[in-house]
Each structure stands twice: as C-alpha cells, then as structure tokens.
Structure 1
Amino acid sequence: MYYIALKRPSASDNSRQADIVPLKDGIKALLKAYRLQGKLNEVFVVSSWERIMGKAVALKTQEIYISNGKLFVRLSSAPLKHELVMAKTRVMELINDEVGETVIKEVIFL
C-alpha cells in the first residue's frame, strides 16, 4: 500500500505537522478539492462502453458522449437503436451500477 504525507496546519500558524494517509485517500481528497470526480466518472463511462454493453453493441456505436448527465449514443443500426430505446432504463442502470453512483440521468439514442 502506498502512502503520502499531507501537510495540514495545526493549532498554531508557525508549526506544521505531517499526517500520513493512504494514497487512495489522498487522490480522493484531490479529486474532491478540484471537483474532478464527476468528469472522471463520465470518462470512465465512455471508456467502459464496450465492456458494459458488449462487443456487438460497441461495433454498431459510432459516437458516445455525455453532457449534463445525459448520455448520447449514435448508432449505425436502426433495429439495434429501436431495441435499446425499449431498454433505456436497463442501460442506464447497467452504466450507473458499473460506476457505483448515479452519473447518467437519461440515455438518448441518436
């Protein structure tokens, strides 16, 4: 396990004390401080599309992007598009379960 030292100000302004925290916790704190967790989750969804939906769907996917909590997917197959439109909520559940939190609020197939 990796650890990093975070410097936090103590009670007096002149002295500082180093606290040792796991690297994982340090990265989480950094993502939270810079408000990057949401964007990181969006990138994770796009990069995991093939693993989540399968190779057959990924091959028919032309474009995928996220804007304001909405996942936009452009497909090259009309029958596949119709089938996925009917299963929109299931697709949304699969994606959010993969991330571990609600990243996608709506799925739009183009």
Structure 2
Amino acid sequence: MLKSYVQENNLERKLNELDLIKSWESVMGKTVSRYTGNLYIQNSTLFVETTSPIVRNELLMMKEEIRVRLNEVVGEELIKAIIFR
C-alpha cells in the first residue's frame, strides 16, 4: 500500500535522493564526512561543501569513483555529476 502510494505520487526519486545523501558517511568514511557537509541534489548533480581544501582536492580526484559508488547504493543512475565547494 505504501509502495503504491509512493509510486503514484512520484516520490520514489526523492526518497532515493535522501537515501543517497544519508549513505554519504558510510560510503566515504567518518574522516571525509567530518570535512564535508550541506549535501544536496539538484538536477541530478550532487553538491558537497568542504571545509578543507586538501580534502576537496582529494575528492575531486576521486569524483567519478564516488559518483559510481553512491549510485550503486540507491541502485539507479541518480547522480550524473558532483560539485565540491
């Protein structure tokens, strides 16, 4: 019943976006998570704020791998790009 309600109201994508954001720490680890925050998704792009230029540079080099791993968590191609700020 709940599943049909979610499908009827096109909420599935939004729930998957929330799951993806919640999985950030488990995918990236506690250390990276400590230096990142304020994650949000807009137009299939994940925006991530970083508090350390060093961490941001490391994440930029791993951007495609991170995108693939996060999409695997939700089981669909939800994120097409990642922007680190």
Give the TM-score range, shorter chain. over 0.9
Unaligned 5+ segments in structure 1 are: 1-25
Say which of 40, 48, 72 aligns to 2:15: 40
Counterpart of 1:7 in structure 2 is none
Question: Is it true that 1:78 corresponds to 2:53 in the alignment?
Answer: yes
Report the Cα distance in structure 1 between the residues aligned to 2:40 and 2:81, rounded to whole angstroms.
Answer: 12
- Percent identity between matched residues is 39
Report the Cα distance in structure 1 between the residues aligned to 2:36 and 2:60, rounded to whole angstroms.
Answer: 14
Structure showing the higher helix proportion among its residues: 2
Question: Is it true that 1:27 corresponds to 2:2 in the alignment?
Answer: yes
Larger Rg over CA atoms: 1
What's the secondary structure of 1:103's corresponding residue?
coil
RMSD (CA atoms)? 1.0
Report the Cα distance in structure 2 between the residues aligned to 1:62 and 1:89, rounded to whole angstroms.
Answer: 19
Counterpart of 1:89 in structure 2 is 64
What's the secondary structure of 2:21's corresponding residue?
helix
Unaligned 5+ segments in structure 2 are: none
Structure showing the higher strand proportion among its residues: 1
Q: Deviations over 1:62-99 (max 9, x none)?
A: 32111111000000111110111111110000100011
Count of residues in Structure 1 that have an aligned counterpart in Structure 2: 85
Moved over 6 A (4+): none
Per-residue deviation at 1:27? 2.9
Q: Give the aligned residue type for 2:76.
A: E
Say which of 94, 103, 110 aligns to 2:78: 103
